[in-house]
Every structure is written in C-alpha cells, then in structure tokens.
Amino acid sequence: MLRTFDTHRIRRTTELGGLWDFTVLPNDTQTESTSKSAPGAAPSRKVTVPSCWQTYPGLENYRGQARYSTTFEAEGNIRLEFKGVSHFAHVELDGEVLGEHYNAYTPFVFAVPALGPGEHRLDVTVDNAFRDNYALNFPNDYMSYGGISRPVEVGFIPDTSIERIHVTPVAPAHEDGIDSGAGIWRARVEIWCRTLRKPRAGTRLALGVELAGRRIETDVTPGSGEYLALATTIDCPGVRPWTCEDPTLYPITATLLANGRPVDDLIDRVGFRTVRVNGEHIELNGKPITIRGFCRHEDHPAFGNALPPQAMQVDLDLIEDMHGNAVRTSHYPNDERFLDMCDERGILVWEENHARGMDEEHMRNPHFQTQAAQVIREMIETHYNHPSIVIWGILNECASNTAYGRECYERQYALIRELDASRPATSATCHMRDDRCLDLPDVVSWNIYPYWYEAKSATRMIDEQLAYTREHSGVGKPLIISEIGAGAIYGFRNRDKEIWTEEYQAITLRKQLTEAFANPTVTGVFIWQFCDVRVDREWWRVRAKRRNDKGIVDEFRRPKLAYDAVREVFGDIARR
C-alpha cells in the first residue's frame, strides 16, 4: 500500500512489491567499507521492494549503482508511481528509457500511453554514490542509503485521468479575507488531470467531487499533459475540525466521467483546520499550540531507510507514550504513510526539504538551486493535503550567514509561498552570532545544545538567541527550539554520571526541556533526536559505532534512561 487507505474505487492499481531481481553494477562504484573493496560483479539475487541494499548480506557498506528488475502484466495506458528511490533512479520499460529522477525522498510518476498486451519489464538503475551532480547528497550526519526504499505502483488509467487533488480548508471566521464569511467551514478544491490522448470528438468529460456529504459535478475541458482542470469552493456545514485531540478526517472523492460514465477516480482525505502565525504564537484553529516534538530520521537497523508501516507505528506509539505531539521530519520529506499516520493520530508535523549542513560551497554547486527547488515542489505538491503538516522547513543549518546563502533562502521561501500560502515556513539555524536570514521565515527556529556542545545553560542560550533575534529582524515572531539534546551510548551507565552515560543524557534532557519551556516566548521544542541513527562513514571521527547517538531510544527503539525524563517533562507540559 502506498497510503494507509484506499485511494481508488474505480482505477485498478497493483503495487509492484514482492521479489525483484537485483544486480550490483560493478562499474564506477564507491564503497563505504574502510578496506575500500568494491563488491565486484555480484550475481543477480532476489530482494524485496521496498527495501535498501544496506540490509542485503554483503552490501552493508555498498555505495554505487545497482539494478532492480521486475515484470508485470498490462495493456493500455499506465501510470507508474515511485514513492522514493534512494537517491538517483534511471527507469526503463521494455528496454525504452522512461526518465530519471534525483532525490531519495520525493515521489515521481511516469504516464505511459498504449502499452501492448502481455508482460512488461521494468528496470530501475539506482545510484547512491556521492557525485557532483547530486547536490543534496554528500557525506553527512545521517546515512545516504541505496535502493527502491519506498513502494512502487502501477495504475491503469484512461486517456484522461485524475492526477492530484489539493484541498485548502477555510475556517468559518477567518480574518484573512479568503473566506466568504459564511459562518461555516469551506474547502477550496483544485483538481489536476492528465491527458495522454485527446478524447474523441463529442465526448463530454466531467468531474464529480464528494466531500462531507456534498456532491458537485462540473464539465471539464481536456488540456494536454498535466493541467489544472477544476478549481472550486465547497461549503461543508457541520464538519468537525481536525485537532490533536480529535483528528477527524473526511474523505474527498474526485470522479472523472466520460459521457456520464465514471472512468477514473482519486480519493484523498481532508482535515478541517487552519494554521497561522499570530504574533509570537502558532495557532491551530485559532488556538496557540505548544510543540512537544521529536526530530526523527527514517532509520532502522533492520530496514535502513525503508521502514515498513509496522515500524512507523511503533515509533509513533513511543512518541505518544512520551507525551510528544509533534515530529520534525529531519532532514527530508517523509514516506507518505508516516504522514497518513500522523493525520490519523493528531500528531503535528514540521516537514522539511532535503538539505542538511550545506555551507556556501555546497550551495554553489551548479545543480543545487534546481534540485532543491524540485524537492520543495514535489514535497508540497504531493503532501499538500495532510492536516498534520503545520509548518514547512527548509535548509537546516545551511549558509544563512552569507550574502549568497541569503539569496538561496530568499528563493526557497518565495517558492514555498507560491506553492502554499496556507502554512508558515521556517528554517533551523545554528548561526548563533551571524545569521542574516531571520527576517525571511514566519517562525524563527534555533538548534541549540546547552550542556552539550556549549557549556552554558539552556536559559542563557535561549536568552542570547532571543536577544540576537530581536536585534536582527526576527522580532515578534514565534520561536521554536528546533533541536536540543545530548548523546548517550545505550547501556553505558555509571555512578559518576559521566558524559556519554545514559544518566548524563537523562539529567541533561530534563534540564534542557524544563528551562526551555520555562521561557514563555518558546512555542515549542523538538528534541534531537527520537532514535539513534546510522551516519555516513566519513563521520566516523565524531560518531562512535558510526551512529549519532542522541536518540532517546537507541536504534532498536530500546528506551534509554532519558525516556522517562522526557516523558515526565512532556507530560507536565501537556497537562499545563
């Protein structure tokens, strides 16, 4: 399943899961192993998709190219959707190139007209090497896995099909001037279609939309390629708003009719809620929120970055058990099933584009601007409807301290606002004394490590950051502590509570969180980080066992002593 619910009743789809053929391509490989030995020409083997090859015996450290192949039965038009290939994909169907996609964490689609009947062969060449033309991937403090790490689906589509629905809830008493003042919730609905072949003369195409007990139907004029086919507003009297405590979701069904006969459909879900910045607060449905959050990487020793839904549920169970109410998808867009689960549970999400720790040199890579813009576009286009996403994040700890860096931030903020004006945007900064971009975000976010990287209290660091923010045009905006935390090696305990022990981490987290929440200006905190994660080999000097071990649970999700400290502080804040 690509989502946690059925997205079609009319369109037939098949997930291309199960066993695929997998072959390492021997040319041009890099390796993560210290011996520098490449695996060589390995024979083909069967692997499950989705997965990542670091979980296949012998390839735990492989960095390079490999091919995944499968076959499927089809006839007519198809729509192939890849939810995530880590990190570059070259796709061929029956030996013909369909196209290429770079970036591990966003989906991509190929629509192919008029396939002949019978079995078809799909070959995907995947590359996870670090190369100059992959601007966002370089040795980093998380693992750049390789593989088809998210699900693949083939859909059987008519000549005109529904591609995407966007729904923007409009609150009854919204002051922004975008509602009608009707005293009820309304939904602005936009539907994109795709036409592979113009319909025969005389064919009447229409779109039907059902939402919250309402149904509308409108004729549509077929365009070519992908196009906005319908933009309308639907009154939704009597709906329950989506809140953290009561995360009510309503299905929206779009049906395409040809001469009155249903030929295609798409189902998504809507949560009626608004998010906006009001002075120093972020408000959900007009009420200020307090974030008790965790930064989370998609990482697991058994699955790499290809976590199955059961493992995602376990992570969310633990987060909820610690009284957490928010997740920051550091540092890339997440598997959409995880976002579905957040929608269902009322967990707030800061979803982030893919960019961590890029200095000006990284950002001057000639591919950076286009590749970063593409991630933002794909992230917002595909995840627009998730009510759980309350903030878009960009450019974690990048060059917000230089003039050129600022230009990049400006561009990305402009793009976000063009694609989605309904949510605030932010970027997590660590440039404590020289950030030049604090006027750009809607929310100012600081990554701070008191009692860890800095021998200072959280109280002092937050005061200093607030003073800096006020002097540098971030004044009057909400403030999030987007990272705070300390490392601990699971199982390392001693009576002296030394650095790296679980005791030290637990004591530190308690102090950090208590001090941060004591400051009334702080809108919330994201702990760095939920679980211990694997990092790229090049980080071995500062990461024992090649792990970033600031997790509150270890890589197997075993709670460290800090778990109960966080649980108590978050619990107190939740009851406040």
The verdict on 396 binding ligand ADA (CB under 6 A) reads: yes
DSSP-H helix ranges across 420-518: 458-471, 502-518
Tell me the per-residue interface mask from 50 to 69 with ligand ADA, x by CB under 6 A, - otherwise: --------------------
The verdict on 141 binding ligand ADA (CB under 6 A) reads: yes
- Closest CB to ligand ADA among 102 and 449? 449
* 3-class secondary structure, 315: helix
Task: Copy the structure tokens of residue 235.
Answer: 């009154």
- Closest CB to ligand ADA among 333 and 387? 333
> Which residues are 330's β-sheet partners?
none
The verdict on 149 binding ligand ADA (CB under 6 A) reads: no
Q: Taking a C-beta distance cutoff of 8 angstroms, is the pair 295, 50 a contact?
A: no
Task: Write b or e for each residue in 239-260: b if 16 or more Cβ atoms lie within 10 A of its Cβ, otherwise e.
Answer: bebbbbeebebbebbbbbbbee
Q: Is 44 exposed, middle or buried (0-12, 13-18, 19+ CB in 10 A)?
A: exposed
CA 505 centroid distance within chain: 28
What is the residue type of 533? V
Out of 179, 397, 515, 536, point to the residue binding ligand ADA (CB under 6 A).
Answer: 397
Helix (H) or strand (E) holding 278: strand 275-278
Tell me the per-residue interface mask from 458 to 497 with ligand ADA, x by CB under 6 A, - otherwise: -------------------------x--------------
CB 102 to ligand ADA: min, Å: 21
The verdict on 550 binding ligand ADA (CB under 6 A) reads: yes
The verdict on 356 binding ligand ADA (CB under 6 A) reads: yes
**Nearest-angstrom CA–CA distance, 329 and 352:** 6
Tell me the per-residue interface mask from 83 to 122 with ligand ADA, x by CB under 6 A, - otherwise: ----------------------------------------
**Nearest-angstrom CA–CA distance, 354 and 333:** 7
**Nearest-angstrom CA–CA distance, 552 and 429:** 22
The verdict on 528 binding ligand ADA (CB under 6 A) reads: yes
Q: Taking a C-beta distance cutoff of 8 angstroms, is the pair 222, 205 a contact?
A: yes
- Closest CB to ligand ADA among 86 and 447? 447
Tell me the per-residue interface mask from 306 to 345 with ligand ADA, x by CB under 6 A, - otherwise: ----------------------------------------
- Closest CB to ligand ADA among 91 and 430? 430
- Closest CB to ligand ADA among 112 and 430? 430
Out of 548, 551, 570, 573, point to the residue binding ligand ADA (CB under 6 A).
Answer: 548
- Closest CB to ligand ADA among 70 and 548? 548
Nearest by Cα to 232 from 259, 250, 214? 214
- Give the interface with ligand ADA as residue ranges (CB under 6 A): 141, 356, 396-397, 430, 447, 483, 528, 548, 550
